[in-house]
Amino acid sequence: MPGSRPSRRPAAIAARLRAAGCVFAEDEARLLITAAPAPADLEAMVERRIGGLPLEYVIGWAEFCGLRISIDPGVFVPRHRSEFLVSQAAARATGGAVVLDLCCGSGALGAALAAAVGPIELHAADIDPAAVRCAQRNLAVIGGQVYCGDLFEPLPRSLRGRVDVLIANVPYVPTGEIPLLPREARIYEPLTALDGGPDGLDLARRVAAGAPLWLAPGGHLLIEAGEHQADATAAIFADSGLVPEVASLEEMDATVLIGAMRAAPNR
């Protein structure tokens, strides 16, 4: 009724969220209630979510690989399918490894990889200043260094030839398919984190071309791609002098391309 206080009951909030089209309404209701410091804040948060703002922007964080990753409005929200990329990178990294996370967004992948393998020397970069600020907060606790600029351009020259694992969650949606993305992504996330060019592989080409200069002998480049892009991306890796491998996990709809740098010959 008019003038009544907003309900903090999960069922009532979930019903409102479900009516607005939220598929996981019950889970979202619980998260909103937990995140809200007061009833008035909760009502404002529910209204923002009903209005279409991504849940992660409303509550200020995203769960990724069991970690709570701080997410600022306008910063790419890490997808759970990218946890497969982290697992593939972890299988090729050890404690003390030098790791480079390009197109790092919030820094979620680098943070998760550090949690999986132990202390690492972590460097990350993104072209979006908002993402860099967010990543700096998420990676400061593990000593990660974050740079602002276009791919390899802002990195210190001292990293060349030292990177054991290079992870790059590059945008890989073809330009013509951007209008088909969910509304939340199209409206609220930065286009630079989504648009991969005419065939979706523009950034993959650039990263693969530059990777051999930065990878250590025996190092690996790992990027995410669409299943239908796997063969073309493997060819891109091969053209750049990397030994390609394709890994996929059907239940997560995840495809990861792995490019191995040939080890230095024994002398």
Domain contains 237: yes
- Same domain for 21 and 133? no
Domain contains 67: no
194 SS3 class: coil
- Domain of 234, CATH number, reads 3.40.50.150
CA dist 91 and 86 (Å) reads 9
Domain contains 64: no
Domain contains 59: no
Q: Is the pLDDT of residue 61 over 60?
A: yes
- Same domain for 127 and 211? yes
pLDDT at 95: 87
Q: Is the pLDDT of residue 8 over 70?
A: no
Q: pLDDT band for 153, please (50, 70, 90 cuts).
A: very high
Is 114:167 a contact under the CB 8 Å cutoff?
no
Q: Is the pLDDT of residue 33 over 60?
A: yes
Mean pLDDT score of the chain: 93
Each residue of 62-94: pLDDT tens digit? Answer: 999 999 999 999 999 999 999 999 999 999 999
- Same domain for 43 and 86? no
- Same domain for 167 and 42? no
CA dist 215 and 62 (Å) reads 30
Q: Domain count for the chain, please give it.
A: 2
pLDDT at 227: 95
- Same domain for 138 and 211? yes
Q: Which residues of 210-235 are buried (b: 16+ CB within 10 A; e: fewer)?
A: bbbebbbeebbbbbbbbeebbebbbe
Residues of the chain above pLDDT 90, percent: 89
Domain, as residue range, for 253 = 80-260
pLDDT at 262: 82
Domain contains 22: yes
- Same domain for 44 and 162? no
- Same domain for 145 and 192? yes
Residue 225 belongs to what H/E stretch?
strand 215-225
Mean pLDDT of 138-148: 97
Written as six digits, the tokens of 104 are 């790092």
Domain contains 202: yes
Least confident range of 8-22, 75-89, 121-135: 8-22
Q: pLDDT band for 263, please (50, 70, 90 cuts).
A: confident
- Same domain for 230 and 114? yes
Domain contains 27: yes
Q: Is the pLDDT of residue 5 over 80?
A: no
